[in-house]
Structure 1
């Protein structure tokens, strides 16, 4: 939208998981379009820095998306500060990797809690405002919702869950003027991904995937594509165009992934040492 006024200018948006990575880049892209942005997340100092250094009007709220009361309070405060909320980007998420049989189930459960329950609670807290504003809710999902991969059972289950949740929410609110979109991201070059690749577990997952699915994409172009999807109130946002083609072949993927996994991992299956001890990245450590 360079050189022209965005349809979002003057409106209010909420971005969860906004302290760093995709969330922070989306918040910056929205601010650059003249949007008032509420940044929600767990990393207080990083949120404050993002709000203060961004290119527009923003304020930070330190909140855990799995805390229903805190989210309701934040929704009230955002509305008092900026007015009706027109856009909500449910981006907050965490991940872990490793063989399911060796998983720490407390960590596994936390992934599902943050990614699925946190998204649902975010939608619930801000839905009254979205209904009043006839706004738009963007659920950040993943290529992992289209084709589940080994060593990522919690993350894949959670991203499939939020995809289905968003489809259900859309069917309920479509007649009331609220748009609901689902964003499908591939690997994005964030601290979480770099953390995982340094420790090794995701290298095996990456080896399963053909090009271009095995490369990480820059954060800023990813955020720009997401914001363009928001401006268009898109029902689906494929951040990388080739992901749309993967969606079309969705029914074939489980068999193909199983076949490829046997080739890469072998009959012995994944090694126990490929398990990552906790949640990935600085954001994951804050949520853990």
Structure 2
């Protein structure tokens, strides 16, 4: 495990039961392994077949290439932000979306914590500077919604700042949409046991251990706090002009396919093959409002 990750065992409250979890133990506890895939009420029993996933993904990625040509021809702009709990699969989804797009006009934005100068600016300012120009396709790996989740849970903002953010954000996003940007907001949702499994996998994979941060460990006992802030975020910022798309993401394969389908379905690009795009899976994708219901 990376030296930057603090090692400690914790006792977690899982469905009213006390469960011990030591992320340093190379053996994954059976109660996690047995329940990870079905956790959070996941609607499928097995992963999407690997070959079906590969073929479907390749076909959808070819459609994304068409989108990029269309944007370059028309000067259109696409922007999507990806939010979700740690280990929800945001980075992997972004990787598969951008895999075959020209990096000159398709890019990812993943900002670090704000500098002292940025802390003194309008909260949204450092994000606005990363918005797409004509012909660009931009994906945010986390976004201004840090202030709706991690900041209030971990005490990085005041309750007043949090409340102000929830009030101001729908207005801010209306400006984005009114300026003609094709705007998407994805919340990748995973079950608790699945998150623990992915944390454990990272801790014992020398190529992925860098993804596990001290913040992840500190948040292990804050699942309910994050859930409460997520629900409030969806309630206050799911608007008609900038709705949330919730993606059930215990199966990374299905999640990535449905994220791309959602974007392609909403874009009226040249050469669109509707038979390839297909229909969005309603078991995996739902609106923020429906998720709360």
Which has more radius of gyration?
Answer: 2
The question of a shared fold, defined as TM-score above 0.5 by the shorter chain, is answered with: no
Structure showing the higher helix proportion among its residues: 1
Of structures 1 and 2, the one with the larger relative CO (CA 8 A, separation 6+) is 2
**TM-score normalised by structure 2 residue count:** 0.38
